[in-house]
């Protein structure tokens, strides 16, 4: 004879299991975020050491002219430009975000009883 529900003894409550799964997913997301932060920090430190070690003046051949600049500024500018290009390429466009919003809205409408 079972008391308090129709689940066998030892079977977790679906709500508790859902909460545990959600907590586990949040922990995994935090771990990924920390790992990404550590990798970014390591790359930044390596880049800064590389730039500082190569700070002598060298002739730089730009597209239309040549100038004697410190290599540190050229590397720093290239790093910033590379990061900017990577950010612009890596983020989804407006059409993708708009389509994602439309899908979410349609899912919400399906869930709501009329």
Nearest to 13 by CA among 26, 2, 1, 4: 4
**Predicted structure pTM score:** 0.46
pLDDT band at 9 (very low <50, low <70, confident <90, very high): low
- At 90-105, the pLDDT tens digits run 876 666 566 666 677 7
Q: Is 58 exposed, middle or buried (0-12, 13-18, 19+ CB in 10 A)?
A: exposed
| 40, two tokens | 């970014």
pLDDT number for residue 88: 87
pLDDT number for residue 94: 63
Domain positions in the chain: 15-105
* Alpha carbons 51 and 43: distance in angstroms, whole number: 12
- Residue 66's SS3 state is strand
């Amino acid at each position: 004879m079972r008391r308090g529900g129709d689940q066998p003894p030892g079977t977790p409550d679906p709500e508790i299991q859902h909460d545990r799964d959600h907590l586990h997913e949040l922990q995994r997301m935090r771990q990924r975020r920390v790992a990404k932060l550590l990798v970014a920090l390591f790359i930044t430190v390596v880049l800064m050491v590389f730039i500082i070690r190569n700070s002598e003046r060298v002739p730089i051949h730009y597209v239309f002219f040549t100038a004697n600049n410190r290599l540190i500024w050229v590397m720093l500018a290239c790093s910033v430009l590379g990061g900017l290009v990577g950010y612009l390429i890596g983020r989804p466009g407006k059409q993708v975000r708009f389509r994602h919003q439309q899908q979410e809205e349609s899912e919400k409408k399906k869930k709501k009883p009329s």
